[in-house]
Structure 1
Amino acid sequence: MIKLIASDMDGTLLNAEMQISEENVAAIRYAQSQGIEFMVATGRNRAEALPPLTQAGIECAMITLNGAQVFDKAGNSLFSAPIEQTVVQKTLALLDEHEIYYEIATNEGIYTANKEQRIENFASAIAEMMPHLTYNMAIAMSVARLDFFPIHIVEDLHELVMRDDLSVLKIICFHKEGAKRLGPVAKEIDAFGDLAVTSSGQNNIEINHRNAQKGIAVSHVANDRQIPLSEVMTIGDNLNDVSMLQAAGVSFAMGNGLPEVKEYAKYVTETNIESGVGKAIRRAIDENLA
């Protein structure tokens, strides 16, 4: 029987309005009534993950920044996997060489050296997730997001990461040409051997410490709860979800997920706009999937 469920957020738990549907909320409540713990496993940091959960009335543990940080229900940090300072510097130098825009997620929040580029890249990401929006609407939402989730603007990110009291948890990179420009860079970074390179969209790559992966974090939480991985269920849609789909005994890919992601999952559910998470949870419980 499933005892722990970990769900991705963007493109998975969240619908086109970036909210958790009533059907998903009801299914989560149903799971909890069966003694099953629900948690999220997201590329977002905790501050960005909280609002839709709070709006839906869901309090849960969180795996954030692709597994770089794990929090309990009360928001206490349980586990973190920062990138070593020398590796950060080496990575930023490579990104600069290839003229790739990047942001740095840290223990003190997110940093960028280019506010305008940040707005443009988030607008592109929003337009990808919500294709019914015009680009101007996506820009407006991106600006609003910046106001709601303040980001630190600095002149020199290289100088910033030299601080001994700062932990770099994730580097997220964007380029409008997508895989054409980011693919070769990802291969070079992967060759470092110290990092895990994944993606949560067509035009980005996300760089973490090799131990900061959703699958490792889910395994860490399950072990802490003394739950065998055979009794863990995971749900996701993109490449940064693959490690947790591989780790869990029961795994679901979203109907809107990438084809290659579906190959790693045991089951496929409906899309995020069809409350695929809720349907997967009820199916897994009612059919006692394994």
Structure 2
Amino acid sequence: MTTPPAQPTCKLLVIDIDGTLLTPGGEITEGTRAAIAEARAAGVIVTLATARRYGNTASIAHELALAAPLILYDGALIVEHPSGRVLYSNPLPDQVAQQGIALLLAEGLQPVIQPLGDPLHEEVWTGPVELDSPWQQIYFTVHAAELRRLPREQLLKPDKAVLRLVALEAPERLRLLAPAVAALDCSWLLLERGNYQCGELTLLRAGCSKATAVAALADLLHIPLTEVMAIGDNENDIGMLSRVGLGIAMGQASAAVKQAARATTTSNSEDGVARAIERYLLRAARTSDSNSRSRSTCL
């Protein structure tokens, strides 16, 4: 693990989920649980920043006994936990959402539409089953309870704001869409390999990211960004890691992610989150306690 320069007080810890908090097998290690519990006991607010929805993030937050606003949909939504109250939303403009959906349909790709609604009763919208890719079939099976299949005409005119628009396909096919997507007034991200073992193309409101949501949350909590520590592993974490006081990249992260961070920990198969919390937050907190100061410092 690398050692960054000294940092100011750390009051907010933001952790990505997939590839970071979770092991490759999708589990949270006992070491990570203990480190997060100790960070919270030291007075640090611990939260999660993820591309996931509230439903499958709230269960993880509950497992870790977190009581803090959660950053969801790649930064398009912040939801108070456990109440489920929306604190912040940053959806796509209606016209841009319609343009993105029309582009995917014109290319024969199935849109995965994640609308803004009640976080306690989330929905996923999509089109006719014949457009499903094999990877989307897996996704739709996982989210069967939230799935609504709509006719093309209704897809093109959604009656709710759209938080995220996603396509799950072979990466080489999604790469061909890059010029057309880049022409839209939106932020977009193409992952070569997402959580469903395929390419993942995501469209968000222009400027929307985990980084902007972390900044919004820090503002809501009256915490300077210099007093925020974040841990992540993927391209959608780059902005977040570079913007906070101390960004830490997982050991298995790409060179681009590591370059954006100020420190690197071990991989998610080697308790990287626990090691990062221990080294850069808890060790400093203990030192601070020994100096009779009840605050934690990122070193």
TM-score, normalised to structure 1, is 0.84
Counterpart residue number, 1:197: 188
Counterpart residue number, 2:244: 248
CA drift of 1:199 comes to: 4.0
Query: 1:84 is matched by which residue type in structure 2?
Result: P
Q: 110-119 or 14-23: which moved more?
A: 110-119
Q: 1:96 to 1:115 in 2, by over 3 A?
A: closer
Q: Deviations over 1:45-65 (max 9, x none)?
A: 101212233234333320000
Q: Is the 8 A contact 1:112 1:151 kept in 2?
A: no
Counterpart residue number, 2:25: 17
Q: Deviations over 1:172-212 (max 9, x none)?
A: 11112x1x2222423422232x2111245521111111242
Query: 2:210 is matched by which residue type in structure 1?
Result: K
Q: 1:60 to 1:87 in 2, by over 3 A?
A: same
CA drift of 1:114 comes to: 4.8
Q: 1:224 to 1:146 in 2, by over 3 A?
A: closer
Q: Is the 8 A contact 2:70 2:80 kept in 1?
A: yes
Q: Is the 8 A contact 2:46 2:66 kept in 1?
A: no
Counterpart residue number, 2:66: 58
Counterpart residue number, 1:133: none
Q: 1:144 to 1:173 in 2, by over 3 A?
A: closer
CA drift of 1:213 comes to: 0.8
- Of the three residues 145, 162, 172, the one matched with 2:142 is 145
Q: Is the 8 A contact 1:195 1:210 kept in 2?
A: yes
Q: 1:199 to 1:282 in 2, by over 3 A?
A: farther
Q: Is residue 156 from structure 1 mapped to residue 151 from structure 2 by the alignment?
A: yes
Q: Is residue 110 from structure 1 mapped to residue 102 from structure 2 by the alignment?
A: no
Counterpart residue number, 2:178: 186
CA drift of 1:101 comes to: 3.0
Query: 1:171 is matched by which residue type in structure 2?
Result: L
Q: Is residue 210 from structure 1 mapped to residue 210 from structure 2 by the alignment?
A: no
Greater radius of gyration (CA): 2
Q: Measure, in 1, the Cα distance between the counterparts of 2:245 and 2:233.
A: 17
Q: Is the 8 A contact 2:102 2:156 kept in 1?
A: no
TM-score, normalised to structure 2, is 0.81
Q: Measure, in 2, the Cα distance between the counterparts of 1:99 and 1:153.
A: 19
Q: 1:181 to 1:231 in 2, by over 3 A?
A: same
Q: Is residue 84 from structure 1 mapped to residue 93 from structure 2 by the alignment?
A: yes
Query: 1:244 is matched by which residue type in structure 2?
Result: M
Q: Deviations over 1:215-251 (max 9, x none)?
A: 0000011112221111111111111111111211100
Query: 2:146 is matched by which residue type in structure 1?
Result: I
What SS does structure 2 have at the residue aligned with 1:273? Answer: coil
Q: Deviations over 1:96-123 (max 9, x none)?
A: 2333332001124211225587683158
Q: 1:48 to 1:182 in 2, by over 3 A?
A: same
Q: CA RMSD in A?
A: 2.3
Q: 1:143 to 1:45 in 2, by over 3 A?
A: closer
Query: 1:151 is matched by which residue type in structure 2?
Result: E
Q: 1:96 to 1:116 in 2, by over 3 A?
A: closer
Query: 2:46 is matched by which residue type in structure 1?
Result: F
Q: Is residue 222 from structure 1 mapped to residue 218 from structure 2 by the alignment?
A: yes
Q: Deviations over 1:46-86 (max 9, x none)?
A: 01212233234333320000111101223210110111111
Q: How many residues align?
A: 267
Q: 1:116 to 1:49 in 2, by over 3 A?
A: farther
Counterpart residue number, 1:134: none
Show structure 1 runs of 5+ residues with no match.
Answer: 124-138
Q: Is the 8 A contact 2:136 2:168 kept in 1?
A: no
Counterpart residue number, 2:298: 289
Q: 1:236 to 1:155 in 2, by over 3 A?
A: same
Counterpart residue number, 1:101: 110
Q: Is the 8 A contact 1:256 1:270 kept in 2?
A: yes
- Of the three residues 43, 48, 51, the one matched with 2:56 is 48
Identity between Structure 1 and Structure 2 (%): 28
